[in-house]
Amino acid sequence: MEHVIRQYTLEPGALEVQYIEECFTEFSGKKTAEEIIERLKDRDHLILLSMAPSEDDDGVLIPVSYKIGHELRAQETNLKLVDLVGQLRDVVEFPNRRIFYSWIGGTRTEWRGRGHYRALTEQQEEWAHANGYHELVVKTKNRFYGMRATFDHLNFDVIKFQRHLKDNRESKVYLSKKIAADVLRQHQTTRSVVDAA
């Protein structure tokens, strides 16, 4: 199966992601286009959406999965990113290395298990490698068992577990993958990438 992936520029991509996040009932804090733009506007970033034919069989491609990532700097000014770097500082080497943070993403429930998220992750890795990044980092919550299993299947290593004292399901899991040519050779999906806007 060939995965059709659209790569978006900032504003159109932020709007598309705001739209697709409405399909995710498990996300309590959905991102607005404005939040996405504010987070990404002054840094390297990548917005990808995986497209598939609608179930109406009308030939229209619809977004079924998405992934947004951005550069993570050793010296951040955004308070959330300052905290993230602080959490990672003892497990990720920042000096003289470029770190790419896989910020948000997911696949619509009815489209899971078809390789869309793998295709997006592999495309993100390829882009990160081509743009000089050394490591890809992601954070998820312990309760997202399917997401954790996906990252395990994609050879991400758990580098830190931040326990939530009241509810272990809310604990944060930090994962990492070094990006190198040998990683790209392990990719399994066939992808066609189109610049969307």
Residue-wise pLDDT for 56-76, tens only, equals: 767 789 999 999 999 999 999
* Sheet with 190-195, side-by-side order of all strands: 157-162, 172-178, 135-141, 99-107, 61-72, 45-53, 2-8, 190-195
Binned at pLDDT 50, 70 and 90, residue 189 comes out as very high
- The predicted-structure confidence for 137-166, as pLDDT tens digits, reads as follows 999 999 999 889 999 999 999 999 999 999
Q: How far apart are CA 152 and CA 162, in angstroms?
A: 18
- pLDDT score, position 59: 78
- Domain region containing 66: 2-195
Q: How far apart are CA 100 and CA 68, in angstroms?
A: 10
- pLDDT score, position 116: 96
What is the identity of the amino acid at 8? Y
- Count of the separate structural domains present in the chain: 1
- pLDDT score, position 197: 67
Q: What CATH number is associated with residue 17?
A: 3.40.630.30
State the distance between the two ends of the chain, measured CA to CA, in whole angstroms.
24
Tell me if 67 sits within 8 A of 142, measured CB to CB. Answer: no
Q: What is the mean pLDDT of the chain?
A: 94
- pLDDT score, position 58: 75
**Looking at residues 188-194, what average pLDDT do you find?**
94
- pTM for the structure as a whole: 0.94
Does the pLDDT of residue 30 top 70, yes or no? yes
Binned at pLDDT 50, 70 and 90, residue 22 comes out as confident
Tell me if 88 sits within 8 A of 81, measured CB to CB. Answer: no
- Which of 138, 18, 29, 26 has its CA nearest to residue 66? 18
Tell me if 48 sits within 8 A of 124, measured CB to CB. Answer: yes
